[in-house]
Amino acid sequence: MKNIILTIFCLLTLVTARAQNYKTETGEVVFFSSAPVEDIKAKNNAVTGLFNTETGSLAFLVPIKAFRFPKSLMQQHFNEKFMESDTYPEATFDGKLTGYSQSETGSQDARAKGKLTIHGVTVNYDISGTLLIEGDQIKMEAVFPVKLEDHDIQIPSVLFYNIAEEVEVTANFVFEEIKK
Amino acid sequence: MIRKALLLFFLMSNFFLPAGAQENLLDQLKSESKTDPDWKRPTSTFKAVRLINGHTVETRRKGNLEFLISHRFGRVNTGAYQFFGMDQANMRLGLDYSLEEWLTLGIGRNSFNKMYDGFVKIGIHRQGQSKTNLPISIVWVSNTSVNTLRRPELPMNLERRLRYSHQFLLASKLNQLAAIQLMPTYVHQNLVRERNGENGLFALGAGASYRITRSVHLTMEYYHRFTNGNNGNTNPVSFGVDIETGGHVFQLHITNSQEMTETGFIPSTTGDFFNGDIHFGFNITRNFQLRKPN
């Protein structure tokens, strides 16, 4: 009996030892809005993220003011009129990654299920993307639509340039193993 | 028995520790997150680069060209025959270019007195800027204007046609809704209308902006002149509304002054606002991004 317990204990210790946290500080999030008047694309390279391979827990944090637009005035309007980023300075995701195998080396599909908070409104998302484990790096990529209405983001009626009701978000993260 | 209990304890800790860690990934991120000092800055203090007649601390970022079309109509109290001032109009066409966010150069042409004006606008401090944390923005504006109106009765050389103004603009965005601005100003006119008129004039301006909706703001602007003799001149006072529509800002206002540059409306306003000498006017600004932002 004692031996069995010991064995389980040892196994569990092994599992915990193998469970690793991965981190990124330069994650990229791009949003693209296609509208008849103008296509608008903005890029953010200051996204931070944490990923735990044991539990599959995945979290990321997007500082809204770090989105870069081709026109500086557009960037100002994005922050002031749409995202109200002085009130809601960041967008966050808190969830779990499922449907992948940790031993597979090639590119594989995975699903991220969890809570995405934008503009202070939390919505449950189920995002499919791809995952690539390479040495001590894990690369994740996903493209998914975000409806402005879902997050209570209003388009001011007097604004001349249109923003699509639904924007396309591309996330591109390269996680690195946290060395202890 | 003790050993078993100890083992059980280790087992439990093995089970619960990772579970605890998993719960806190987002919180962990939030506690570790660094914020760029630039993100603390208010994105803008005022909607436009002009408050009503004068400048705001607002400057566009590097590589932006702003085209301004401004009109001031005649006095509302001139009655129906003049269509309440609409029959007469003064116009200013202007271009402002931001070489850097802290350096803007501008030129303009006014139909009133056939005047050309040029200015340099230098940002000294930004509200919320790192290190100082001072809650005000400080901008310096120097303006020169040349009156090119032909006056056969008076020999006009270039010297007589020139006027200068220098201003400090001190502004603070108080919260999401309101912003205030103070404008200590010195105006120098090489030629004054009256023999006993003063060439130099000190004035203190005050302005404010209040947000009604995300795109509509109310504005006001007042300059108090510190002068011994008024010579029929009054302090310029104006009220307006700013409507922002993307690349354009439409500014509609009522004011007692006809001129649209500091060298003009500060020393030479003649209307008495509360006696009905009110000019309806507007500024329309259109922004062009000529160079890509960094």
The domain segmentation of chain A, as residue ranges, is 21-177
Distance from CA of B250 to the nearest CA of A (A): 11
Position A142 scores a pLDDT of: 96
Q: Two tokens at B111?
A: 């139909």
pLDDT 10s digits, B236-251: 999 999 999 888 999 9
Residue in B98, B127, B214, B289 to test binding to A, most A beta-carbons within 10 Å: B214
Find the closest chain B residue to A52 by CA distance. B22
Q: Cβ of A59 and B246 within 8 Å?
A: no
Give the phi and the psi of residue A179 in degrees, each rounded to 5.
-80, 130
| CA torsion through residues A172, A176, A177, A179, sign | negative
Q: Which of A60, A68, A80 sits opposite B44 (nearest CB)?
A: A80
B28 and A46 within 8 Å at the Cβ level: the answer is no
Question: Per DSSP, what are the bridge partners of residue B71?
Answer: B91, B282
Quick one: pLDDT band at residue A161, thresholds 50, 70, 90?
low
| Inter-chain touch B18–A54, beta carbons under 8 Å | yes
**Nearest-CB residue to B25 (from A13, A59, A85):** A59
* CA–CA dist A37, B158 (Å, integer): 48
Chain B residues within an 8 Å CB radius of A68: 293
Closest C-alpha among B231, B240, B234, B225 to residue B273: B234
Task: Report CB contact under 8 Å: B18, A156.
Answer: no
CB contact under 8 A, A48 and B61: no
CATH architecture of A21-177: Beta Barrel (2.40)
Closest chain B residue by Cα to residue A76: B43
What's the pLDDT at B22?
44
CB atoms within 10 A of CB A72: 22
- Whole-number Cα distances in Å, B93 to B17, B21, B248: 69, 63, 15
Residue A17 — very low, low, confident or very high, per pLDDT cuts 50/70/90?
A: very low
In this complex, do A161 and B247 lie within 8 Å of one another by their Cβ atoms? Answer: yes
Would you give the end-to-end CA distance of chain B in angstroms? 68
What would the mean pLDDT of B257-286 be, rounded to a whole number? 94
Residue A122 has a pLDDT of: 96
Residues of chain B with Cβ-Cβ distance to A70 below 8 Å are 289, 292-293
pLDDT of amino acid B25: 86
Question: Would the ipTM clear 0.85, i.e. be above it?
Answer: no
pLDDT tens per residue across span B134-166: 899 999 999 999 999 988 888 888 888 999 999
Tokens of A175: 């996680």
- Give the closest-approach CA distance of A46 to chain B in angstroms: 10
The A residues from 19 to 78 touching B (CB cutoff 8 Å) are: 19, 46, 48-50, 52, 54-55, 57-61, 63, 65-66, 68-73, 75-77
Least confident of A130-139, B10-19, B181-190, B222-231: B10-19
Of A19, A48, A81, Cβ closest to residue B214: A81
Split at pLDDT 50, 70, 90, the class of A1 is low
Contact B215 A55 (CB under 8 A): no
Q: Token digits for B275?
A: 């006696």
Which residue bears the tokens 């031996």?
Answer: A3
- Whole-number Å distance between alpha carbons of A72 and B291: 10
The SS3 of residue A15 is helix
How far is C-alpha B244 from the chain's CA centre? 14
The partner residue sitting opposite B10, judged by closest CB among A9, A66, A77, is A9
CB distance A87 to A106 below 8 Å: no
**Model pLDDT for residues A114-132, shown as the tens digit of each residue:** 999 999 999 999 999 999 9
Counts for chain A of helices (H) and strands (E), in that order: 2, 8
Mean pLDDT, residues B71-83 taken together: 93
Nearest Cα neighbor of A97 from A134, A43, A49, A169 is: A49
> Domains plus CATH for chain B?
47-289 (2.40.160.40)
Smallest CA-to-CA distance from A91 within A82, A103, A101 is with A82
Structure tokens, A11: 């196994």
What's the mean pLDDT in A69-80? 90
The token duo for A26 is 């330069």
Q: Which residue of A has its CA nearest to B62?
A: A72
Structural tokens at position B183:
């404008």
Neighboring chain A residues of B214 at a CB cutoff of 8 Å: 80-81, 156
> Which residues, including other chains, have CB under 8 Å from residue B230's CB and lie 6 or more apart?
none
| Percent of all residues in chain B with a pLDDT value above 70, rounded to a whole number | 91
SS3 per residue for chain B: CHHHHHHHHHHHHHHHHHHHHHHCHHHHHHHHCCCCHHHHCCCCCCCCCECCCCECCCCCCCCEEEEEEEEEEEEHHHCHHHHHHCCCEEEEEEEEEEEECCEEEEEEEECHHHEEEEEEEEEEECCCCCCCCCCCEEEEEEEEEEECCCCCCCCCCHHHHEEEEEEEEEEEECCCCEEEEEEEEEEEECCCCCCCCCCEEEEEEEEEEEECCCCEEEEEEEEEEECCCCCCCCCCEEEEEEEECCCEEEEEEEECCCCCCHHHHHHHCCCCHHHCCCEEEEEEEEEEECCCCC
Instruction: Name the DSSP letter for residue A154.
Output: P
Collect all residues of chain A within an 8 Å Cβ-Cβ radius of residue B248. 160
Angle of helix A2-18 versus helix B2-23 axis, rounded to 10: 20
Note the pLDDT of residue A104. 84
Contact B60 A72 (CB under 8 A): yes
A66 contacts in B (CB within 8 Å)? Answer: 36, 39
> Rounded CA gap, B97 and B104, in Å?
5
- Chain A residues with CB-CB distance to B247 below 8 A: 73, 160-161
Mean pLDDT, chain B, rounded, equals 89
CA distance to A96, A140, B83, B251, B270, per residue, from A110 (Å): 10, 9, 70, 52, 73
DSSP state of A40: E
Cβ within 8 Å of B, A 111-150: none
